[in-house]
């Protein structure tokens, strides 16, 4: 179920929609269950690459592992991009790192420095400001993003773990400006998941908040591992020292830093 955007929302994103470079086009929703689901439906119906679904409210927004995503109406920026990569499908998971870097770069227009918590979170001073969820379809990818832009109050369960651009910058950025900045950077980074991926990896390594610290992770097989993080490898994998082995983790259900090592 989806609702049409309000006049206020249309006006808020009007200039951005009119000035987007190819191939991006905005699809505004007042509310929907999930922007990822909306973008997936567009992909399955044959929509062209670059469709961007933006919602003021998500009634069933989600992050990794099916976790609910908190997004305050009118304060958070929640959107998903439909993308049809030219690269082979085995390289598509690299879009998560490319999008993470795009969001980090965009946030740095408003705050001094950001960090990447592999594989899909953007942090500022140890707190989460954005999350990314990349899902593949048959011949397309959906990259969903949630950014805390102007939120000042968070639910009790995440209040000590979350932040927003407004909290960190001391002013309220325009959501449309944040979106335009992300799209500009994503269009550049997404084209480098094949040739040029070493540049994405190098930039991500500089921002990796897990590097050098102890981490605990749960693999996709359910195995719980603890080790020392050696940072991000050349294929975008997380390198973790576990005993005498150096594990190369391409996908994990959960990765968390261990407080105080």
Look at residues 175, 190, 207 and tell me which one is the last residue of a structural domain: 207
Tokens of 256: 């968390």
Domain with residue 104: its CATH number is 3.30.930.10
Residue after which a domain boundary falls, among 207, 227, 249: 207
Residue 61's pLDDT is what?
66
Q: Are residues 121 and 244 in the same domain?
A: no
Question: CA-to-CA distance for 119 and 199, rounded, in angstroms?
Answer: 17
Q: Report d(CA 129, CA 254) in Å as an integer.
A: 18
Does some domain include residue 2? no
- Tell me how far apart the alpha carbons of residues 245 and 104 are, in angstroms, rounded to a whole number: 31
Statement to judge: residues 221 and 194 lie in one domain: no
Q: How far apart are CA 85 and CA 91, in angstroms?
A: 9
3-state secondary structure of 234: coil
Answer whether residue 36 is part of any domain: yes
Number of domain units in the chain: 2
Residues 155, 61 share a domain? yes
Q: Select from 122, 130, 97 the least CA-distant residue to 249.
A: 97
> Do residues 109 and 134 share a domain?
yes
Same domain, 51 and 110: yes
Of 2-6, 41-45, 87-91, 184-188, which gets the smallest average pLDDT? 2-6
The verdict on 234 and 161 lying in the same domain is: no
Which residues lie below 8 Å from residue 226, measured CB to CB, with a gap of 6+?
Answer: 214, 215, 216, 217, 242, 258
Neighbours of 132 (CB within 10 A): 24
Specify whether 28 is located in the same domain as 150.
yes
Structure-model confidence comparison of residues 186 and 154, the more confident one:
186
In this prediction, residue 246 carries a pLDDT of: 92
Whole-number Å distance between alpha carbons of 214 and 195: 32
Of the chain, the percentage scoring pLDDT greater than 90 comes to: 74
Structural domain that includes position 218: 214-257
Looking at residue 243, which CATH number applies to its domain?
A: 2.30.30
Polymer length in residues for the chain: 261
Whether the CB-CB separation of 48 and 83 falls below 8 Å is answered with: no
Q: Is 133 inside a domain boundary?
A: yes
Mean per-residue pLDDT over the chain, rounded? 91
174, 191, 207: which is the final residue of a domain?
207
Q: With 80 as the cut, is the pLDDT of residue 85 above it?
A: yes
Are 57 and 185 members of one domain?
Answer: yes
Judgement on whether residues 232 and 200 belong to the same structural domain of the protein: no
Average pLDDT over residues 38-52: 97
With CA atoms as reference, report the closest residue to 47 among 91, 80, 6: 80
Q: What is the pLDDT of residues 157-184, one digit of tens each?
A: 788 889 999 999 999 999 999 999 999 9
Angle at 34 between CA 177 and CA 110, to 5 degrees: 20
Query: What is the dihedral sign for C-alpha 11, 19, 106, 2?
Result: positive
Sequence-separated (6 or more) residues with CB below 8 Å from residue 157: none
**Distance from C-alpha of 146 to C-alpha of 137, rounded to nearest angstrom:** 20
Q: Say if residue 229 is in the same domain as residue 198.
A: no
Tell me how many helices (H) and strands (E) the chain has: 6, 12
Do 96 and 188 fall into the same domain?
Answer: yes
Asked if residue 56 belongs to a domain, the reply is yes
Confidence at residue 60, expressed as pLDDT on a 0 to 100 scale: 78
Query: Is position 90 within any domain?
Result: yes
| Residue 176 within any structural domain of the chain | yes
Domain assignment present for residue 149? The answer is: yes
Rounded Cα–Cα distance for residues 96 and 136 (Å) = 11
The answer to whether 216 and 256 have CB atoms below 8 angstroms apart is yes
| Beta pairing, strands 141-148 & 76-83 | antiparallel
Q: Does 157 share its domain with 233?
A: no
The answer to whether residue 1 sits within a structural domain is no
Tell whether omega for the bond before 119 is within 30 degrees of 0, i.e. cis: yes
Between CA 63 and CA 70 the distance in angstroms is 9
């Amino acid at each position: 179920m989806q609702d049409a955007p309000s006049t206020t929302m249309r006006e808020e994103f009007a200039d951005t929609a009119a000035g987007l470079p190819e191939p991006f086009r905005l699809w505004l929703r007042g509310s929907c269950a999930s922007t990822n689901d909306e973008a997936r439906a567009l992909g399955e119906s044959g929509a062209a690459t670059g469709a961007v679904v933006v919602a003021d409210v998500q009634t069933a927004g989600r992050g990794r592992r099916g976790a609910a995503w908190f997004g305050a109406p009118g304060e958070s920026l929640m959107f998903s991009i439909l993308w049809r990569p030219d690269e082979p499908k085995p390289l598509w998971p690299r879009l998560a790192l490319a999008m993470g870097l795009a969001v980090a770069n965009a946030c740095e227009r408003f705050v001094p420095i950001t960090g990447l918590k592999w594989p899909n979170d953007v942090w500022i001073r140890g707190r989460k400001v954005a999350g990314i969820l990349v899902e593949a379809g048959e011949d397309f990818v959906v990259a969903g993003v949630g950014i805390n832009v102007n939120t000042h109050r968070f639910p009790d369960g995440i209040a000590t773990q979350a932040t927003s651009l407004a909290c960190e910058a001391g002013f309220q950025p325009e959501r449309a400006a944040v979106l335009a900045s992300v799209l500009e950077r994503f269009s550049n980074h997404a084209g480098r998941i094949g040739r040029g991926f070493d540049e994405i990896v190098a930039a991500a390594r500089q921002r990796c908040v897990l590097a050098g610290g102890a981490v605990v992770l749960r693999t996709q097989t359910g195995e719980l591992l603890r080790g020392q993080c050696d940072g991000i490898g050349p294929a975008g994998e997380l390198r973790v020292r576990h005993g005498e082995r150096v594990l190369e983790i391409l996908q994990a259900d959960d990765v968390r830093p261990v407080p105080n090592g």
